[in-house]
Amino acid sequence: MTLWLIVRKSLRQHVLSTVVTSLSIALAGGLLMSVWMVKAQSRATFTQINGGFDAVLGARSSKLQLVLNAIFHLEASPANIAWSDYLEIQKNPNVELAIPIAMGDNYRGYRVVGTLPELFTKTEYAPGRRYAIKPPGRIFDLGLREAVVGSFVAQKLGLKRGDVFHPYHGLTFDEKEEHAEEYLVVGILEPSNTPADRVIWIPLEGVQKMSGHAAEAATEVSAVLIKLRTLVAGKTLEMFYNRQNARLTFAWPIGATIGELLNKISWFDRVLAVVAYLVAVVAAGSVLASIYNSMNERRRQIALLRALGAHRATIFCTVVLEAVSIAILGMLIGFLIYGVIMMAVASIVRAQTGVVLEPLAWHAVMLWTPLGMIGLSALSGIVPAIKAYFTDVAGNLAPVS
Amino acid sequence: MPLLEILQLKKSFLAPDGSNHCVIDVPGLALEEKEQVALCGESGSGKTTLLHLIAGILRPDSGSINLAGQEVSNLSEPERDRLRAMKIGYIFQTFNLLPAFTCLENVLLGMSFGPGADRGVAEALLQRVGLSDKFKHYPRQLSTGQQQRVAVARALANHPKLVLADEPTGNLDQRNARDALSLIREVCRENGAALLLVSHDREVLAEFDSVLELSKINQATASTSAIAHS
């Protein structure tokens, strides 16, 4: 009780430095946790997102470009492939399901992708999870100009069942590129927290035969999403398409392809981590400096406490405990900073990819970062604590008569 | 056996010129239980140093300080801290209250290093010194006389055997000095504590039956004076 009382009073007495040093600890802790969590969740989430498919078949390009384009709806489409390529792989005995997709249009910046209803009826975008349409909506009719709108698009553009819209040509929004065709929204997807939420889905033929598209587009698709019967089949098909076929690329497995991308940009994580570690060291240094600089004014108080019977060890502990308290206070604020950073990052990631990160999900970093910062702060407190330990009692109980 | 017995006590400090400067050389001094003694001397005569030695804040170069049957000079530092917390009450000229602590917390803090903080005892003591309505006041909100009363309450909080008062009225005006002195003497009497009060104020000294002149019992300052006069 005595220690805490002394520490509490000291923190209040030096409220400005307490607040400033706590904020520096908060910033360091918040940054460290954020960097770690964004890295961990990105890897965990992005490598697991595959829309329920094992592979993507597309025009000759890099596997990464194909996956980003067909699964994440990012990046430009490398080129189209022939309808016969789709039919060929669809008939392959190793393939359980093949869904063609066609793209090349947008509505106010969100991709309009043509596909088959089987994308919604026959696939599980995650184990045990199928796409669902908000009642009383339904999936588009292949023969009509109807659309199913991803939940994020519907939310952002305010689209609802019964609305009509004209797609725009190209993957980026340009007012002058409006198509003549009018599409009726017949369903809104329930949130799936996948890139599908950022897409407007229309019948495959809608994109293929949209006015203004090249005539050959009518017999082409952008890519084919493939679900394999066995994982071993992936290797066979990969060898077949990637080594013996110069026109097509078979991107398999999807998770590993994204993993390679994350590995390539992992240097960025490391830079962020180094910055966060440096901030942590600076924060610990600020704890040391602020307490150490106040030691001169505390000499008399320390001498008095000693004169009242406090042991040297008690004085030492109060200073270390003060440093620890600053770190605890800082880490409480640090969790707020972490929350703000993660909310912002999650919001950006969702807007850009449709993938939803979980800012409040538990991770061990939420334990070891506070413990690490508290430990570092306690270490910083040792230097001024040593000075306090050796404070001359008689010399500081002035005046002397 | 006296409560406090000092024998052949010596303490020197290193002077700026590197020589050893003897400040205390007391062949003998004794204080009985509940006795109240004033110690007078000029500034720099070693009064505070003697109190620091008795309280175990400083360690003597040689000699013996026996307090309540314990040889202070033989104790380790933590043991001297404990002795100071349990058996000695200290009143300073500048009161030395902790500015961030309320009156009550100042008293409780003094107790916490001894037998333990007891809110009831602390409040009773503050009431006794006339500060029943100032428990939650901070030292800066009190007059100097009131601050000294808090210091008196703190010194007595652990029921010490001995109260050491170092120029306790030095910072007070005449009326407050008189009040503070009588309060210190009364509460020491009520609590059965002996009092060793250091002062160079003649009016204060006149209140005591027993007054010791440090220049007579401290051979270090006596010799210094002799050298100075020769």
Is there a single domain that holds both residue A246 and residue A340?
no
Is there a single domain that holds both residue A299 and residue A178?
no
Is there a single domain that holds both residue A138 and residue A241?
yes
Burial readout A108-140 (b: 16 or more C-beta within 10 A, e: otherwise): eebbbbbbbbebbeebebeeeeebebbeebebb
Contact list, A312 vs chain B (CB under 8 Å): 77-78, 81
Domain with A331, as residue range(s), is 2-46+264-391
Mean pLDDT for the stretch of residues B98-112? 93
Is there a single domain that holds both residue A276 and residue A185?
no
How many A/B residue pairs have CB atoms within 8 Å?
Answer: 88
Chain segment B23-78, per-residue pLDDT in tens: 899 999 999 999 999 999 887 788 889 999 999 999 999 999 999 999 998 999 99
- Taking an 8 Å cut-off on Cβ atoms, the answer to whether B90 and A307 are in contact is yes
Reply yes or no on whether the pLDDT at A8 is more than 80: yes
- Taking an 8 Å cut-off on Cβ atoms, the answer to whether B198 and A312 are in contact is no
Is there a single domain that holds both residue A140 and residue A225?
yes
| Residue B166 touches chain A, beta carbons under 8 Å | yes
The average confidence (pLDDT) of chain B is 89
Reply yes or no on whether the pLDDT at B228 is more than 80: no
Q: Is A400 inside any structural domain?
A: no
Q: Is A214 exposed, middle or buried (0-12, 13-18, 19+ CB in 10 A)?
A: exposed
Q: Is A399 inside any structural domain?
A: no
Among A232, A252, A272, the domain boundary falls at A252
pLDDT at B174: 84
- Taking an 8 Å cut-off on Cβ atoms, the answer to whether B77 and A312 are in contact is yes
Distance CA A22, CA A335 (A): 12
pLDDT at A305: 93
Both structure tokens of B56: 């175990």
Both structure tokens of B178: 């008189």
- Give the mutation candidate from B87, B96, B97 for the A interface (greatest A CB count, under 10 A): B96
Q: Which long-range contacts (CB under 8 A, 24 or more apart) does A227-233 make?
A: A227/A52, A227/A53, A227/A54, A227/A95, A227/A96, A227/A97, A227/A98, A227/A123, A228/A54, A228/A55, A228/A94, A228/A95, A228/A96, A228/A252, A229/A93, A229/A94, A229/A95, A229/A96, A230/A94, A231/A54, A233/A94, A233/A95
Of the candidates A239, A200, A207, the one whose C-alpha atom is nearest the C-alpha of residue A223 is A207
Contact list, B82 vs chain A (CB under 8 Å): 309
pLDDT at B221: 65
How would you classify the pairing of strands A220-221 and A81-82?
Answer: antiparallel
Closest residue of B to A300, CA-based? Answer: B96
- Taking an 8 Å cut-off on Cβ atoms, the answer to whether A2 and B81 are in contact is no
Report which residue type is found at A85.
Answer: D
Q: Please give, one letter per residue, the 3-state secondary structure of B15-61.
A: CCCCCEEEEEEEEEEEECCCCEEEEECCCCCCHHHHHHHHHCCCCCC
Is there a single domain that holds both residue A200 and residue A61?
yes
Q: Is A258 inside any structural domain?
A: no
The owner of tokens 């880490």 is A331
Asked if B172 and B199 count as a contact pair (C-beta separation under 8 A), the reply is no
Is there a single domain that holds both residue A177 and residue A310?
no
Q: Is A20 inside any structural domain?
A: yes
Q: Is A238 inside any structural domain?
A: yes
Go through the domains of chain B in sequence order and give each one's CATH number. Answer: 33-56+74-213 (3.40.50.300)
The owner of tokens 């609590």 is B191
| Residue B90 touches chain A, beta carbons under 8 Å | yes
Distance CA A196, CA A201 (A): 9
Reply yes or no on whether the pLDDT at A303 is more than 50: yes
Residues 100-119 of B with CB under 8 A from A: 100-101, 105, 109-110, 112-114, 117
More confident residue, A396 or A218: A396
Report which residue type is found at A253.
Answer: P
Q: Is A396 inside any structural domain?
A: no
Among A223, A252, A281, the domain boundary falls at A252
pLDDT at B87: 94
> What is the share, in percent, of chain A residues with pLDDT greater than 90?
68
pLDDT at B218: 81
| Residue B205 touches chain A, beta carbons under 8 Å | no
pLDDT at A260: 85
Among A252, A282, A316, the domain boundary falls at A252
Angle between helix A365-389 and A295-307 (nearest 10): 70
For chain A, the residues whose C-beta falls within 8 A of a C-beta of chain B are: 1-2, 5-6, 9-10, 12-13, 300-301, 304-314, 393-394, 397-401
For Cα atoms B151, B153, B156, give the angle at the middle one, nearest 5 degrees.
Answer: 110
Reply yes or no on whether the pLDDT at B148 is more than 80: yes
Report which residue type is found at B3.
Answer: L
Is there a single domain that holds both residue A365 and residue A334?
yes
pLDDT at B110: 87
Distance CA A342, CA A38 (A): 7
Q: Is A176 inside any structural domain?
A: yes
| Min distance A398 CA to chain B CA atoms (Å) | 8
Distance CA A2, CA B111 (A): 10
| Beta-bridge mates of residue B14 | B20
Is there a single domain that holds both residue A217 and residue A308?
no
In this structure, how many other beta carbons lie within 10 angstroms of the beta carbon of residue A239? Answer: 11
Q: How many structural domains are present in chain A?
A: 2
Is there a single domain that holds both residue A69 and residue A152?
yes
Is there a single domain that holds both residue A59 and residue A195?
yes
Both structure tokens of A88: 């060929």
Could you tell me the pLDDT band of residue A398, with boundaries at 50, 70 and 90?
low
Q: Is A268 inside any structural domain?
A: yes
Top-ranked range on mean pLDDT: pick from A98-112, A215-229, A266-280: A98-112
Distance CA B171, CA B95 (A): 9
A245 vs A102, A155, A344, A401, CA distance in Å? 22, 42, 44, 100
Q: 0.90 exceeded by the pTM?
A: no
Reply yes or no on whether the pLDDT at B222 is more than 60: no
Is there a single domain that holds both residue A192 and residue A278?
no
Reply yes or no on whether the pLDDT at A400 is more than 70: no
The average confidence (pLDDT) of chain A is 91
